């Protein structure tokens, strides 16, 4: 039974597989019991023991070239249950390897949050993002398109991971939950928008919770940058500028076109990877305070850039900022936007603008909630996650693995790989069973009757690429069907 890749999983992701995306590898990292989780988090709420893996998969970078990305998968260990999938997008990382897939190592990102969700009965997927973890190049920070694509391709890789670890991982059902905090809030909203706008025929979002994210990059965040108020996270600004220059290529010729020389050298060190984002932030605050008397972010920008961004809506910087707003659409799935009014890093008005715009666009099940008015950005994490668990919990479905209606001989059949390029392997066949392969129109394109071989290989290279259904009929007439993808 454990060797059967669940039909729900295959159907959910079958239509999305392409030659541009594939699962590469997995590495078991560790496990924790629910007792250990209760002790670690100080809350006796966890229902499941968990295990966690680093996985790698292919996805496209900001330039459209294939790259190998990484992420963390955290799963309940009770194999007699069927669980929802949940994608959690992490916040701004201090360094390239400060990501979920490095969980358990110094600076290993927000893997703990994956433990929380898995301990509550979700199969939690935590992508590292393009340019982070195993990804090459500079991370395209707060770039909506790659935040979405990295997550989508990680979800697409999960059926193959399940197949590779079939005896050790649980089944998933057809529920999909989306969430993320800070940059991850922006990323989760970008992912949600991409699925419901362009992939609605393939994925269905069960519910989404976006937490304290900079959704209004060209509005609320731009106004913060241009204000005369002190801001103690100025490193976010060059991180964004470096990102958008990497993506769009037209923001500046040299760093000193945008930043005054006293700050440009520090920023170049960060871009080169010789200092972390935190070290950059400390250096910028110190330099701003020493040279101008306060950590006012706009003071590190060239006066000509400030004037252009303030007065020219078509300036490349303004266009890049607007291209990465993620709130001007109407979510279909039940959606919550959780924030804290006292947020000192990402102004709460991001959430208000998103709520008001989405509501005006026709969203019907959308609520924005201030979960702790006095909390700053760091203090908002826990109450926002508690609200998310409560919201998702009301919709979460955890089922029991029940005996198949097909006989054990059919239930034990394994089919791999999926997707398949040339040769499909069918194993654990019982004597007397028959196999048929149907194309997307329901036409039988291959069949084998009264099989007596334990293993069968089907050559697929001469079939057109697409989604097919393989049907196994036992000797007593009972059937088992699965969707497969043939690609070339």
The yes or no reply on domain 7-216+325-400 and CATH 3.40.50.150 is no
Q: Which residues contact 421 (CB under 8 A, 6 or more apart)?
A: 460, 461, 486, 487, 488
Q: Which CATH architecture does the domain made up of 408-486 adopt?
A: Sandwich (2.60)
Q: How far apart are CA 209 and CA 395, in angstroms?
A: 13
10: helix, strand or coil: helix
User: If the chain, 488 residues long, is cut into consecutive pieces of 10 residues, what is the mean pLDDT of each piece?
Assistant: 38 42 91 96 91 97 95 96 96 96 85 96 97 97 98 94 86 94 98 96 95 98 96 98 97 97 97 96 98 97 97 98 98 98 98 98 97 97 95 92 47 72 80 80 79 77 81 72 74
Give the closest residue to 322 by CA, choosing from 215, 179, 434, 178.
215
Q: What is the pLDDT of residue 326?
A: 98
Length of the chain: 488
Cα 461 to Cα 156, 416, 456: the distances in Å are: 22, 15, 16
Q: Which residues contact 265 (CB under 8 A, 6 or more apart)?
A: none
Q: What is the pLDDT of residue 481?
A: 67
The pTM (predicted TM-score) of the whole model is 0.81
Q: What is the pLDDT of residue 388?
A: 96
Q: How far apart are CA 238 and CA 260, in angstroms?
A: 12
Between helices 277-292 and 236-248, what is the axis angle to 10°?
A: 120
Q: In terms of DSSP bridges, do strands 23-32 and 444-451 run parallel, antiparallel, or are they unpaired? A: unpaired
Residues 238-251: b if buried by 16+ CB within 10 A, e if exposed = bbbbbbbbbbeeeb
Q: Hey, where are the domains in the chain?
A: 7-216+325-400, 217-323, 408-486
What string of DSSP letters covers 394-411?
TT---EE----SS-HHHH
């Amino acid at each position: 039974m454990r060797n059967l890749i669940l039909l729900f999983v295959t159907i959910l992701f079958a239509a999305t597989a392409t030659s541009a995306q594939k699962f590469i590898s997995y590495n078991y990292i560790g496990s924790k019991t629910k007792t250990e989780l209760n002790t670690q988090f100080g809350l006796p709420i966890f229902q499941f023991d968990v295990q966690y893996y680093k996985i790698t998969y292919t996805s496209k970078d900001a330039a459209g070239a294939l790259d190998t990305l990484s992420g963390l998968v955290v799963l309940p260990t009770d194999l007699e249950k069927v669980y929802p999938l949940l994608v959690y997008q992490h916040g701004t990382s201090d360094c390239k390897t400060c990501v979920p897939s490095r969980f358990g190592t110094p600076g290993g990102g927000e893997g703990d949050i994956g433990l929380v969700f898995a301990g509550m009965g979700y199969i939690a997927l935590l992508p590292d993002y393009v340019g982070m973890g195993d990804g090459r190049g500079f991370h395209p920070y707060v770039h909506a398109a790659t935040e979405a694509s990295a997550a989508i391709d990680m979800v697409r890789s999960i059926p193959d991971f399940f197949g590779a670890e079939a005896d050790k991982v649980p089944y998933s059902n057809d529920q999909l939950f989306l969430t993320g905090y800070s940059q991850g809030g922006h990323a989760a909203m970008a992912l949600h928008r991409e699925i419901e706008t362009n992939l609605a025929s393939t994925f269905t979002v069960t519910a989404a919770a976006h937490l304290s994210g900079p959704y209004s990059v060209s509005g609320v965040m731009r106004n913060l940058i241009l204000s005369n108020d002190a801001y103690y996270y100025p490193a976010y600004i060059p991180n964004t500028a470096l990102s958008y220059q990497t993506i769009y290529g037209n923001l500046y010729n040299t760093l000193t076109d945008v930043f005054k020389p006293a700050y440009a050298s520090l920023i170049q060190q960060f871009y080169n990877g010789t200092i972390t984002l935190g070290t950059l932030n400390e250096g910028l605050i110190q330099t701003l305070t020493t040279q101008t008397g306060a950590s006012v972010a706009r003071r590190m920008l060239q006066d000509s850039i400030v004037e252009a961004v303030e007065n020219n809506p078509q300036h490349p910087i303004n266009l890049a900022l607007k291209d990465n707003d993620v709130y001007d659409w109407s979510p279909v799935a039940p959606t919550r936007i959780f924030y804290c009014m006292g947020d000192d890093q990402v102004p709460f008005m991001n959430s208000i603008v998103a709520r008001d715009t989405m509501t005006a666009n026709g969203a019907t099940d959308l609520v924005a909630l201030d979960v702790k008015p006095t909390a700053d950005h760091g203090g908002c994490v826990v109450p926002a996650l508690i609200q998310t668990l409560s919201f998702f919990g009301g919709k979460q479905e955890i089922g029991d693995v029940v005996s198949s209606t097909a006989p054990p001989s059919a239930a034990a059949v394994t089919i791999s790989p999926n997707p398949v390029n040339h040769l499909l392997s069918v194993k654990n066949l019982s004597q007397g069973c028959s196999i048929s392969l149907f194309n997307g129109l329901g036409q039988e394109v291959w069949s084998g009757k009264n099989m007596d071989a334990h293993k069968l290989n089907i050559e697929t290279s001469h079939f057109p690429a697409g989604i097919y259904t393989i049907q196994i009929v036992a000797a007593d007439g009972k059937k088992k069907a699965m969707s497969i993808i043939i690609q070339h």
